[in-house]
Amino acid sequence: MANGYRIVIGLEVHVELRTNTKIFCSCANRFGAEPNTQVCPICMGMPGTLPVLNKKALEYAIKAGLALNCNIASFSKFDRKNYFYPDLPKGYQVSQFDLPIAHGGWINITGEDGQPKRIGITRLHLEEDAGKLLHEGTDAFSSLVDYNRAGVPLIEIVSEPDLRSPEEARQYLTELRNILRYTGVSDVKMEEGSLRCDCNISLNPVTTDQYGTLVEVKNLNSFRAVQRALEYEVERQAALLDSGCQVKRETRSWDDSAGVTRSMRSKEKAHDYRYFPEPDLVPVAVDQAWVETIRQDLPELPEAKRKRFMQDLGLPPYDAEVLTASQELAAFFEECLAVYDDAKTVSNWVMGELLGYLNQEGLDITASPVAPKQLGELLQLIADGTISGKIAKQVFVQVCQTGKDPQTIVAEQGLRQISDSSQLEGIIAEVLAAHPQVAEDFRSGKEKALGFLVGQVMKATRGQANPQLVNELLRKKLQ
Amino acid sequence: MGLYDMPINNLNKLIASGAVQATEVVEDVFDRIEQVEGKVRAYLTLNKEAALQQARRIDEQVAHGEEIDPLAGVPVALKDNICTKGLRTTCASRFLESFQPPYDATVVERLRARGAVILGKTNMDEFAMGSSCENSAFFPTHNPWDLQRVPGGSSGGSAAAVAAGEAVYALGSDTGGSVRQPAALCGVVGMKPTYGFVSRFGVVAFASSLDQIGPVTRNVQDCALVMNAICGRDPLDSTSADIAPPDFTSFLTGNVKGLRLGVPKEYFAAGTDPAVADAVRAAVDKLCELGAVAEECSLPHTEYGLSAYYIIATAEASSNLARYDGVCYGRRDEVRADLLEMYLHTRKNGFGPEVKRRIMLGTYALGSGYYEAYYLKAQKVRTLIRRDFEQAFQKYDVLVAPTSPTTAFKIGERTEDLLAMYMTDVCTLPVNLAGLPGISIPCGFKDGLPIGLQLIGRQFDDGRLLQAAYAFEQNTDFHQRRPQLDGTGR
Ligand SMILES: [Zn+2]
């Protein structure tokens, strides 16, 4: 789509930290409360009030930094970013300018060539969120402001300009979200605004190494929007460059319903934020021992888990990818594996039957009606020949619906597979008597005819006959 | 001597013994206010009903035989940039003309917990920006020693109220000399504690890295008692020091034997009134007579202090005052045009000229392209000034200097000459830049106007200043003189 151009993308991701209280006051950090009920004089920026850093927010920022392979600064500080807007009660945002809490990290994605590709993370810093403007039920001259979000702790994660396609950007975001979700520092829900993403994108002719003019894209409310907006920008900028025009350095806003980006403000008139050190807070000295404690506390992260699933359990990359998409799903898989240790079979059932069912019912893995142990036991029943795979699928649905254990369902409904040849021989005789012509066809070499006969036996046993055994017995009889 | 004119200690003892009721004290102070306030105009808001109520509580405690705190029942005035729950806190600005904080500043909470009786809120330069109280958006305060003259600033209302007997003591805030300079000009004691010793929570910020609350009293012992009440770590202020303050009254020994005094020559530069210089040198001689040893010393970077101060203070102020945007509280000029128009009108009409001037200066100093040349350089100067002091304190225990280069000037005299106005704080603001403690005590008079002696100490060595100040006070009588306001012969 952009032949002859190199695409250069960098992302700025804001993530709300899931602390109990806000970053500089003791108000609850809670999404979805009635407007202006989670506020106090401090987060409303009233005269004389002062911030006190929530240590948990610092801990979470460090945790996120470590999970993203960053260096944690032993000395860091806060700065004021000055600008006027009604959602910003103090007229400045407390942020970090030149000494962020973490820097120099990376995460891996799968590159275009299928090989792992390392995407650099320039920095990660801690700051406070602003409130939210509401325009419902107001006239053209007024707006309403909700300050519940003002002072919610945020981390801003800035990537290096290492991404080379909208698809890579989507992958980076997905991996970033997974990692942060694993660490538990955030809900990372784009629809609730706990993860927000701005993109920087430029195109330059492949004949040069020099970056093209940077365009910032904002107002991206889903991963899909990020990818679509970037794809749109690639087309737009390539068309401009093709026709000999210049790309303007500006900020553009994504209009999701129209599927286009629109100019917001040109960068020439950009804000001068007049950053300076926040005099109301003391610099942050981070003890190395504390950092190590937090590092010890990190869970196994998605990439390590994927590697283990492939190398130790022999799963294909696709399975490993799907199963590690969330920590809860991976845990489900592993708990199941503890009961029934054939990884590939468990993987097939989790990805197929389980995710299929959850998807159909609109449920999250955490709300699965089937316990991992139950699925493991079900697979055990197949393995020891108690039930057939086909019956197992029915049992699975019943476990989902009733919550009963697979063994109970099999026993109650007499679903146990008939593997006793003496029990089957009578039925086989009846089937052959009823279909003499088919039996004759088989004898005369029509291999297919056997399938029909097996089907008739299965039908007569309501699917409970062991199909392999039926097959053997029929062949013997027809010889 | 009326009750209103008594030291904290004596009043408190009378109240505790039941000899005098706290309500009587309050009534007496309000009588005094009624007599002289029309001339002095120290208060922006009076709080008589609540004060009487609080006094009644103290009287009940005494009646029940309960022990009361050394500050209980003693009436105090608060500078109007110190937030008081439910009591108007204006910063002498149109912007906050009807602002009632829903919280008490930590210092107020501490005073209340000790049974202090809050008389009202005192006048000041708008948002503490000024040295004469003339920048109040409401009215100027007059110096009780000469009503044609300024009381100094920005805590001019607090100093004038204490000098005129309209409060037993007061709190002010000192960003560049705003407690010490008006104390000097009004002939009372004013102290700026070490930065971090007193919580800034609830004190409306002017320049966060310089602001510090301090007592204004009529003698050094009162000052020590108030220091005992207001100093100490506050979890609500991240910059408050985690150091347990001493009992400041324990320094009131009267003994200065062997105390090493440094007299920085730069603090007697051109522009210093010779009478002020003489009074300060005489005070040094007095302290030496009492056993201290003194020599001249140098703080070589002093001359850069004023410039550095006006960059750092205005830079911080430009950001601190951004919150007055008409959105959440305070003044809003309803302009049915757009957001920018609302901001512009609100801030144009809400702030006085000096506040606007400083916001503009500070905004400029932080602007991209100027930050290094101004703000960063000023911070470097600040470091040099701090080092000057550190070096001096290797040799000396206390530095002695004038508080203000001159005595009180006439109202209107310097309003057109900003540099002259800014020079008023030249001897006090380096102390804020270095975060050190400083105290001003009366040390003489020129043509009936008080002269202030400034003592500067090491970080968290505030007690030593009180020690020297007390010894001086015990051997002089400057603190006992009172301004002659007509009809005060009680
Ligand atoms: Zn709050």
**What count of CB pairs under 8 Å joins A to B?**
105
Least confident of A96-100, A134-138, B399-403, B420-424: A134-138
Residue A408 lies in a domain: yes
Confidence label for A267 from pLDDT (cuts 50, 70 and 90) = low
CA B248 to chain centre: 18
| Predicted pLDDT at B80 | 98
B98 and A CB contact within 8 Å: no
Intervals of CATH 3.90.1300.10 along chain B: 3-254
Chain A nearest-CA distance from B375, in A, is 9
Mean confidence (pLDDT) of chain B:
96
Q: Cβ separation of B328 and A44 shorter than 8 Å?
A: yes
- Considering only CB atoms, which chain A residues are within 8 Å of B89? 47
Question: Do A463 and A348 belong to one domain?
Answer: no
Confidence label for A266 from pLDDT (cuts 50, 70 and 90) = low
What average pLDDT does the segment B374-386 reach?
97
Say whether domain B3-254 belongs to CATH 3.90.1300.10: yes
A46 contacts: CB under 8 Å, gap ≥ 6: B101, B102, B103, B323, B328, B329
Domain boundary among A361, A387, A413: A413
Q: Which residue of B has its CA nearest to A275?
A: B366
Higher-confidence residue: B293 or A384? B293
In chain A, how many domains are there? Answer: 3
Question: Do A433 and A396 belong to one domain?
Answer: no
Contact status, residue A458 vs residue A468, Cβ threshold 8 Å: no
Question: Do A214 and A317 belong to one domain?
Answer: no
Domain boundary among A381, A413, A445: A413
Domain boundary among A259, A290, A321: A290
Secondary structure percentages of chain B, helix, strand, coil, to 5: 45, 15, 40
CA A181 to chain centre: 8
Best of A26, A95, A274 to substitute, by most chain B Cβ atoms within 10 angstroms, is A274
| Predicted pLDDT at B91 | 98
Please say if the pLDDT value at position B488 is more than 50: no
Nearest of A282, A24, A40, A9 to residue A167 by alpha carbon:
A9
| Predicted pLDDT at A63 | 98
| Predicted pLDDT at A54 | 98
Please say if the pLDDT value at position B314 is more than 50: yes
Question: Do A275 and A347 belong to one domain?
Answer: no
Bridge partner residues of A263 (DSSP) = A252
B112 contacts: CB under 8 Å, gap ≥ 6: B104, B118
pLDDT in tens, A47-92: 999 999 999 999 999 999 999 999 999 999 999 999 999 999 999 9
| Catalytic status, residue B238 | no
Number of H helices, E strands in chain A: 16, 16
Given B154, B173, B318, B404, which residue is catalytic? B154
Chain A nearest-CA distance from B209, in A, is 6
Chain B nearest-CA distance from A258, in A, is 28
Nearest of B432, B436, B442 to residue B469 by alpha carbon:
B442
Question: Do A321 and A453 belong to one domain?
Answer: no
- What is the domain-level CATH number for residue A455? 1.10.10.410
Confidence label for B486 from pLDDT (cuts 50, 70 and 90) = low
| Catalytic status, residue B356 | no
- Considering only CB atoms, which chain A residues are within 8 Å of B329? 44, 46
CA of A186 to the centre of ligand 1 (A): 20
Confidence label for B490 from pLDDT (cuts 50, 70 and 90) = very low
Question: Do A236 and A265 belong to one domain?
Answer: yes
Please say if the pLDDT value at position A2 is more than 80: no
What average pLDDT does the segment B14-37 reach?
97
| Predicted pLDDT at A468 | 83
Question: Do A11 and A108 belong to one domain?
Answer: yes
Higher-confidence residue: B224 or A135? B224
Question: Do A327 and A391 belong to one domain?
Answer: yes
What average pLDDT does the segment B303-327 reach?
97
| Catalytic status, residue B178 | yes
B338 contacts: CB under 8 Å, gap ≥ 6: none
Least confident of A25-29, A30-34, B254-258: A30-34
pLDDT in tens, B39-76: 999 999 999 999 999 999 999 999 999 999 999 999 99
Please tell me the distance from the alpha carbon of residue A76 to that of residue A218, in angstroms, as a whole number. 28
B453 and A CB contact within 8 Å: no
| Predicted pLDDT at A198 | 96
Best of B87, B104, B328, B364 to substitute, by most chain A Cβ atoms within 10 angstroms, is B328
**A56 is written with which tokens?**
């948990």
- Considering only CB atoms, which chain A residues are within 8 Å of B209? 279
Residue A69 lies in a domain: yes
pLDDT in tens, A191-244: 889 999 999 999 999 999 899 999 999 999 999 999 999 999 999 999 999 999
| Predicted pLDDT at A269 | 57
Q: Cβ separation of A50 and B237 shorter than 8 Å?
A: yes
- Considering only CB atoms, which chain B residues are within 8 Å of A46? 101-103, 323, 328-329
Q: Cβ separation of A86 and B368 shorter than 8 Å?
A: no
Residue A132 lies in a domain: yes
Please say if the pLDDT value at position B345 is more than 90: yes
Confidence label for A444 from pLDDT (cuts 50, 70 and 90) = confident
Q: Cβ separation of B103 and A41 shorter than 8 Å?
A: yes
Best of B200, B319, B329, B339 to substitute, by most chain A Cβ atoms within 10 angstroms, is B319
CA of A278 to the centre of ligand 1 (A): 18
In the Cβ-directed half-sphere of B383, how many Cα atoms lie within 13 Å?
Answer: 5
Mean confidence (pLDDT) of chain A:
93
What average pLDDT does the segment A465-473 reach?
85
Residue pointed to by tokens 């012992």:
B221
Please say if the pLDDT value at position A270 is more than 70: no
Question: Do A273 and A341 belong to one domain?
Answer: no
Please say if the pLDDT value at position A121 is more than 70: yes
Question: Do A447 and A473 belong to one domain?
Answer: yes
The pTM of the full predicted model, rounded to 2 decimals, is 0.91
Residue A56 has φ and ψ, to the nearest 5°, of: -65, -40
B368 and A CB contact within 8 Å: yes
Portion 189-208 of B in contact with A at CB < 8 A: 200-205, 207-208
Confidence label for B489 from pLDDT (cuts 50, 70 and 90) = very low
Best of B200, B212, B327 to substitute, by most chain A Cβ atoms within 10 angstroms, is B327
Contact status, residue B465 vs residue B276, Cβ threshold 8 Å: no
Measure CB to CB from residue A272 to each of B205, B316, B368 and give the nearest one.
Answer: B368
Share of chain B above pLDDT 70, in %: 99
Domain of A377? 300-413
Residue A93 lies in a domain: yes
Residue A295 lies in a domain: no
CA of A131 to the centre of ligand 1 (A): 12
Measure CB to CB from residue A80 to each of B203, B319, B336 and give the nearest one.
Answer: B319
Q: Cβ separation of B238 and A51 shorter than 8 Å?
A: yes
